[in-house]
Amino acid sequence: MHDTPPSVPDFTQWPSFPFEGDLRVKQLDDPVPVEPPRKGEGLRECTACNAPDDAYIWVGERWRVRAMDRPTGLPMVLILESRTHLDLGDLPNLLAAELGVMTVRLERAIRSLDGVARVHVNRWGDGSAHLHMWFLARPYGRLQLRGTFLSLWDSILPPISEEQWRENLALVAAWLAEFGGRPLAEPPRIQWQAPSSLLAQSAAAAAHAAAAQEETVSVIEAAEEIPEPAVEGTPDADTPGPGADGDVGGGPKIPTLDTSRGAVPSDELATDAGAAASAAASTPSNRSAADSVTAPEDAPEPAGHEHHPVIPAPRSAPTVVTDDGRIPPDVRAPR
């Protein structure tokens, strides 16, 4: 191990890199002989297994989708989880096939939201052993947010409004429910109040937004992605992991799925031709699910598009007839 840290890499000069100024590389620690257990491994409890359905925006027979506790800097950040306590490489063929369908379906649902250009799909898994896939929406037109550092920008940008956030959650949940499962996210309700209370309501909303901005937990700061530091007394390699005999804290036992009898996905992943055609017609089909990690000069330029609002045609004035059956000249219909 060299005493002199390596030089700063070239990507720190990319427009998408969120920091500037004098930077230096941290000294790399020596590798540990045994890694500490993640959540859901060994004797550590699994947060996903203990979470009730009402903590999610959509639930199905074998999959659940949840959001962050509060709005963050991106238009939408969602997490797809399996109900069964399994990691990515442990999925049987049935769940592996369903994961592909659910990934595409959730990406389309998020991309259908207003102001979303692309959806980044990520899986890290160093903090939790329960499978969880991240879906991050990149705002349209924000070229500086393209690529690898989108999760960092989520921690830096001011959070979106809670009203818009809840409305987006309800739209995504309703989209997924078209193919099965149960939507649990509801759109924000309209609060009808007297005009005299609007000023106080605005002040309270501003204070709440300021407090939320200070306490916002982003993707990088999520508990599922914070690895445990190595400590003394770490269980050795002989410690039984999740699903082993005698495991008391590693989540539920891993069920055996018999696919030799022709097991197929449930109603949440099966849809008739009409529902599939409706979903395909309402979403673009030529967009990629995630950006490539490329240099700024190789990044694709988004095609410009304009939104033309629909202007309703003016209504004609009502016809006025006098007592003698004539139409006054000053109230005739406009040409």
What CATH number should be reported for the domain holding residue 134?
A: 3.30.428.10
330: which 2 tokens? 């000053």
Query: How close are the terminal C-alpha atoms of the chain, in Å?
Result: 85
249: which 2 tokens? 């804290």
> Is 305 or 248 the better-scoring residue by pLDDT?
305
pLDDT beyond 90 at 177: yes
Distance (Å, whole) CA 243 – CA 259: 20
Neighbouring residues of 174: CB distance < 8 A, sequence distance ≥ 6: 183
What is the pLDDT at residue 188?
Answer: 80
> Is 319 or 39 the better-scoring residue by pLDDT?
39
Residue 196 lies in a domain: no
Q: Which residues of 263-297 are buried (b: 16+ CB within 10 A; e: fewer)?
A: eebeebbebeeeeeeebeeeeeeeeeebbeeeeee
> For residue 324, what pLDDT band results from cuts at 50, 70 and 90?
low
Residue 301 lies in a domain: no
Residue 193 lies in a domain: no
pLDDT beyond 80 at 309: no
Rounded to an integer, the average pLDDT of 47-67 is 97
Full domain range(s) for residue 114:
35-188+212-236
What is the pLDDT at residue 18?
Answer: 87
Helices (H) and strands (E) in the chain, counts: 6, 6
Q: Which residues of 154-181 are buried (b: 16+ CB within 10 A; e: fewer)?
A: bbebebbeeebbbbbbbbbbbbbbbbbb
Rounded to an integer, the average pLDDT of 159-174 is 96
Q: CB–CB of 212/71 below 8 Å?
A: yes
pLDDT beyond 80 at 80: yes
pLDDT beyond 70 at 186: yes
pLDDT beyond 50 at 37: yes
- In the chain, what percentage of residues exceed pLDDT 90? 47
pLDDT beyond 50 at 185: yes
Handedness of CA 258, 260, 261, 263 (dihedral sign): positive
What is the pLDDT at residue 132?
Answer: 97
Sole residue written with tokens 């770490």? 234
Tell me the CB-side half-sphere exposure of residue 141, using CA atoms within 13 A: 6
Residue 40 lies in a domain: yes
Distance (Å, whole) CA 79 – CA 48: 11
Residue 76 lies in a domain: yes
- Nearest residue to 265 (alpha-carbon basis) of 58, 53, 62: 62
Residue 14 lies in a domain: no
> Is 248 or 3 the better-scoring residue by pLDDT?
3
Residue 50 lies in a domain: yes
Distance (Å, whole) CA 106 – CA 190: 27
Residue 298 lies in a domain: no
C-alpha R_g of the chain: 26
Would you give the DSSP letter of residue 45?
Answer: P
Amino acid at 252: P
> For residue 282, what pLDDT band results from cuts at 50, 70 and 90?
very low
Catalogue the long-range contacts made by 11-17 (C-beta closer than 8 Å, 24 or more residues apart): 11/148, 11/295, 14/147, 14/295, 14/296, 15/143, 15/144, 15/296, 16/144, 16/145, 16/146, 16/147, 16/148, 16/149, 16/296, 17/149
Domain count of the fold of the chain: 1
> For residue 190, what pLDDT band results from cuts at 50, 70 and 90?
low
